[in-house]
Chains A and B, each alone.
Chain A
Amino acid sequence: MRHSPGKMQCQVPVGRNAGRNLLASIAPKRVKTKEIIKKGAIVLQSRLSKRATNNLWFVIFVVPTLAAFLFAVVVPFLIGIYYSFFSWDGIPLNPKTFVGVSNYTHLFSDARFLQAGGRTFVFTFFSVISINIVGLFFALLVTSKLRTRNLARGIFFAPHMLGGLLLGYIWKFVFSNVFKNLGATLGMEHIFFNWLINKEYALAALVVVNTWKMAGYIMIIYIAGLESIPGDVMEAASVDGANYFQRLRNITFPLLMPSFTIALFLSLSNSFKIYDTNLSLTGGGPANATELFAMNIFSEIFKSNNYGYGQAKAIVFFVLVACITVLQTSITKKREVEM
């Protein structure tokens, strides 16, 4: 609301100085110019200080986060790039040897790293698909007229609260004990056996556990999307005679595109960067069949003490993840529709 000091006395004042202005307005009409200027100054001052306070709040909220981001992400990242040109074991007192880009060129002949990369792509591909299918299914289920939907939401989300490390250990037990006994009892040993000691199945086991962990989280995003779809559109569609699947295909999914963008982004980047579950469930085994990118980099740096080389791997890894997620976001963004 914009008002000049001159007009102030003849309208009902609002805002911070409402009380004082109200007094002024019922005071004798004869107002001296001096007072008007004074009042104007007060209003101006209060506005200015309001802006100043806003700025102060802005600073208070942003600076700590920005500082944390700067010191915990940006600076180490830049230092990391610097170190990736050195051969160094990570001990400050030990010599760093500048090796130029040889860390990077060596990467392309490192069969183990390349294999871990290929595996990570396979893992991510299947993970993203299964996480989103299961997550969307959960979301549709708990936004339907299910009577226990609130309980179901809680249950589906619970695995995410446990954290990947713990989930990995729980599922390790499931695969190595429960599955084995189940197979023996049901006589279905070809399906229910210890997946973790079979090279192909171990990666599948990792996909299962990752889905178990992420689906509940992705579900929340889809729920938000589903609930923001206006009811009248759906109603109009049903009046027009569209059945459930037609409504799903022609109305729900297109309007859910923004959620797809976020859900795909999150599941893609999280699956790509997975480490905790990988460590606790399979530890990269059996026979390296489940060693993914992050684990390969971690063991290069912290177990084999090849700090510079590991850094180079990490930078390449970063570029890959960045490219893929940017590509994915731009593709799905294009398909988003406006109401």
Chain B
Amino acid sequence: MKRKLLSVLLCTILIMGILPGIAGAEGKFIFFQRKAELNPVFDEIAKIYQEETGVEMEVWGDMGDGYINTLQAKLTSGFGPTIFTVRTGVETELLTQYLSDLSDHPVTALVLNDLELVGTQGNIVGIPYGMEGYGLLVNSEILDASSVVDYASFEKALQDAQAAGKIPFEASDKGFFMVGHILNVPFAMQENPLEFIAKLNKGEVKLSETPEFVEWAKYLEAIRTYGTNPLEVSYDDQIANFANGETAMINMGNWANVLFDEYGVAFDYPMIPMPVLGNNKISVGIPNFFAINTQSSPEEQAAAADFLTWLYTSETGKKCMVEMLKLIPTVEGVDPGELDPMSETVFAATQSGESLMWTYNHWPNNIVNNYIVPATQEFFMDENITGIQYLEMLDEAWAQANQAI
């Protein structure tokens, strides 16, 4: 009898758990974005939004399988989020059927410098969310950032740092922190980067024969000679060593500011361009765009569109954007407020237009982790591989990535 009671009880609990899922509240939408560290903040924002408008916003956390994998699984199963974030290039092409046309959305007209996401049909499908930039961060207590202007001075700086008993340069083991970010520099320096990538995909140009890349490879050789082996350094170590003043130079972006704040970094660390062939621009881009799912119900889509309008144009929304999410504004009419030094550099670069674009979203799908990283690991493990040989390996990586079905 007792057992029967227990099973009845369990069944009731189970059914009660399922019911709200089936019922589905009206005027509600689901929100899912890439940056895991911002999820608690979006939970707060959801509360504020519900208080102001009465509309419920369900924020999905990272489900532990990587954002894009989870998103893809959810979208393809037909239970996708209403608002999600997407990147330019390959990701936009892949998910193009799910991206609503936002050309008439009120926020689209306010977007600065044509930063909005253009879909495969040439229409606007995404609203930029946050701006990020990166370059070389120099510990000004060890080195003088303004002295690093070309290859010779870069190498000299590494030697000076070594003589001072510091780690001259440190990268870390994950794809973009090892090579992806800095490899963007010579790509973005091309006159027409996207055209260059298209030619490279067809095998019409070679990295090993392009002057920007040849010069860039010299920097990588110097990093291998003087810096630590990135295979042995985790992202956390990289940040910690720099924040503790043990590293003279790292390549990093303004997203790390939160972490540096936690360490209470006391010294100045200006962000400077990687001076390949006199390059004087840092790389700035929009990591994510808000998109609205075409497969959601019209009510949900409308609710989602209203939320984006609220977030970008209402006073409360703008406050959430700048003060809570600490994002660099991407639309008109939002006062950036007091930015941290790195973000200020990034914001100034976009204001003046003196910045390099992010090209890696246009590289072949998954090429960084699948092909470039293995080649780079090889390069860092074997001192005998020259910069040119490394570039030839990258050319080979490109060929392989394009040869795959």
A residues contacting B by CB (< 8 A) are 87, 89-94, 103, 106, 110, 112, 176, 194, 196-199, 284-288, 299-300, 302-306, 308-309
Cβ–Cβ contact B75 & A304, under 8 A: no
Cβ–Cβ contact B72 & A285, under 8 A: no
- In the docked arrangement, what's the CA distance between A61 and B166, Å? 67
Cβ–Cβ contact B374 & A305, under 8 A: no
B229 within 8 A of A: yes
- CB neighbors of A among B94-115 (8 A): 94-95, 97-98
Given known pairs A89-B94, A91-B94, the reply for A103 and B232 (CB within 8 Å) is no
B231 within 8 A of A: yes
Given known pairs A194-B232, A286-B381, the reply for A106 and B374 (CB within 8 Å) is no
Return chain B residues, CB-CB under 8 Å to A112: 400
Shortest CB distance B11–A (Å): 15
Given known pairs A91-B76, A285-B231, A306-B404, the reply for A197 and B381 (CB within 8 Å) is yes
Given known pairs A285-B373, A287-B378, A303-B369, the reply for A87 and B405 (CB within 8 Å) is yes
Shortest CB distance A171–B (Å): 15
Cβ–Cβ contact B365 & A304, under 8 A: yes
* Chain B 358-400 per-residue mask, 1 if CB under 8 angstroms from chain A, else 0: 0000000110011001110110010000000000000000001
- In the docked arrangement, what's the CA distance between A309 and B76, Å? 18
Main secondary structure of the interface of A (DSSP, over half): loop
- In the docked arrangement, what's the CA distance between A196 and B75, Å? 37
Give me 5 A-to-B residue pairs in the complex whose CB atoms sit less than 8 angstroms apart, sorted by A's number: A176-B232, A284-B374, A286-B374, A286-B381, A299-B366
Of B373, B374, B381, B404, which is within 8 A of A304 by CB?
B404
Which residue in chain B gives the minimum CB-CB distance to A285? B377
Cβ–Cβ contact B369 & A197, under 8 A: no
- In the docked arrangement, what's the CA distance between A306 and B75, Å? 17
B69 within 8 A of A: yes
Return chain A residues, CB-CB under 8 Å to B405: 87, 103, 106, 306, 308-309
Of A91, A176, A194, A197, which is within 8 A of B72 by CB?
A91
Shortest CB distance B258–A (Å): 24
Return chain B residues, CB-CB under 8 Å to A305: 94, 365-366
Return chain A residues, CB-CB under 8 Å to B373: 285
Shortest CB distance B372–A (Å): 11
Return chain A residues, CB-CB under 8 Å to B94: 89, 91, 94, 305
Return chain B residues, CB-CB under 8 Å to A106: 405
- In the docked arrangement, what's the CA distance between A134 and B400, Å? 41
Given contact pairs A103-B405, A176-B232, A286-B378, a sample of 5 additional A-B residue pairs in the complex whose CB atoms are under 8 Å apart? A91-B75, A91-B94, A287-B381, A302-B69, A306-B405
B residues contacting A by CB (< 8 A) are 69, 72, 75-76, 94-95, 97-98, 229, 231-232, 365-366, 369-370, 373-375, 377-378, 381, 400, 404-405
- In the docked arrangement, what's the CA distance between A103 and B404, Å? 10
Shortest CB distance A181–B (Å): 13
Given known pairs A287-B375, A299-B366, A304-B370, the reply for A94 and B229 (CB within 8 Å) is no
Shortest CB distance A273–B (Å): 19
Cβ–Cβ contact A286 & B377, under 8 A: yes
Which residue in chain B gives the minimum CB-CB distance to A110? B404
Return chain A residues, CB-CB under 8 Å to B400: 112
Of A89, A198, A299, which is within 8 A of B370 by CB?
A299
Which residue in chain B gives the minimum CB-CB distance to A194? B232
Cβ–Cβ contact B98 & A93, under 8 A: yes
- In the docked arrangement, what's the CA distance between A177 and B229, Å? 14
In order of increasing CB-CB distance, the 9 nearest A-B pairs are A93-B97, A287-B378, A288-B374, A287-B377, A286-B377, A309-B405, A303-B366, A287-B374, A304-B366
Of B72, B97, B377, which is within 8 A of A90 by CB?
B72
Which residue in chain B gives the minimum CB-CB distance to A106? B405
- In the docked arrangement, what's the CA distance between A262 and B268, Å? 63
Return chain B residues, CB-CB under 8 Å to A110: 404
Which residue in chain B gives the minimum CB-CB distance to A99? B405
Given known pairs A91-B75, A197-B381, A303-B366, the reply for A286 and B231 (CB within 8 Å) is yes
Shortest CB distance B235–A (Å): 13
Return chain A residues, CB-CB under 8 Å to B232: 176, 194, 197
- In the docked arrangement, what's the CA distance between A112 and B401, Å? 11
Shortest CB distance B315–A (Å): 38
- In the docked arrangement, what's the CA distance between A126 and B39, Å? 44
Shortest CB distance A116–B (Å): 12
Return chain A residues, CB-CB under 8 Å to B369: 299, 303
Return chain B residues, CB-CB under 8 Å to A103: 405
- In the docked arrangement, what's the CA distance between A89 and B378, Å? 30
Return chain A residues, CB-CB under 8 Å to B375: 287
Cβ–Cβ contact A197 & B76, under 8 A: no
**Residue of A199, A284, A305, A308 contacting most chain B CB atoms (<10 Å):** A305
- In the docked arrangement, what's the CA distance between A194 and B365, Å? 31
- In the docked arrangement, what's the CA distance between A194 and B380, Å? 15
